[in-house]
Amino acid sequence: MREGRVQVNGVPVTAMGSVVIPGVDTVSLDGTVVRPAARRWVVLHKPTGVLCTRADPHGGETIYDRLPDWAASLRYVGRLDRETSGVLLMTNDGDLGAALAHPSGRVEREYVARVAGQVTARALRSLRRGVELEDGFVRPRLVRKVRVGEEDWGLRLIIMEGRKREVRRLFKRVGHPVVALERTRFGPFRLGRLAPGAWRPAHSRELADAHALAKRRNRGRSRRHTGGPHA
């Protein structure tokens, strides 16, 4: 840019941080029009033992090892720890990804957990009332006992934010540490029958619902900043 090689609508631009409007302004480098990359959304079934990172200095497997080469530019939305499996969103759409991941968006995350010990009615009541963790109070939107095998039972849980290891800390606090944990849904994106390690493009209906969630979040923020719809 300092050399004057970048032009916006035919005019050289040398100021760093100059703003352009995608789809309206034309950006070129050395006379060649620069076009933004197509927006991509991928739903990956992250297996246990796989890291949400670009590369592991210790040689461990990462999520990018499970994706095609063209997906190297995608970033994950709402990471999962090494031992948690399930829905992991990958995208190059930074704005929508950030809107879905931010706690203020109140986007549902659904998990199914196998936990240690026989789940008691007391533990269920505690979870439904909410639990105070080190970084704040957590009250799941839904807690339900579910069968996770022929003889085993676990818990289905829906939370509205994604703090670090939140679900594991929640179950540990009520006396039932997690044995196995899977995220089955992130907002409108569902795991379904996707096999561990497999991926698929996001469905158009999922993306439409995700954009609707982001718009509702933005409307809510605007009302808070202006003092409400009647201010």
- Catalytic, out of 81, 93, 95, 209: 81
106 vs 124: CA distance, rounded Å: 22
Please say if 135 is a catalytic residue: no
| Structure-block tokens of residue 31 | 């006379």
Residue 181 burial (C-beta neighbours within 10 Å; 0-12, 13-18, 19+): buried
* Rg of the chain (C-alpha set): 22
**For the chain, where are the E strands, in sequence order?**
6-8, 11-12, 27-29, 32-33, 41-46, 75-77, 84-91, 109-115, 131-133, 136-138, 142-147, 153-159, 178-186, 189-190, 199-201
Q: Are strands 84-91 and 178-186 parallel, antiparallel or unpaired?
A: parallel
Hunting for tokens 């995220």 — which residue is that? 183
Backbone angles phi, psi at 104, to 5 degrees: -65, -20
Active site residues: 81
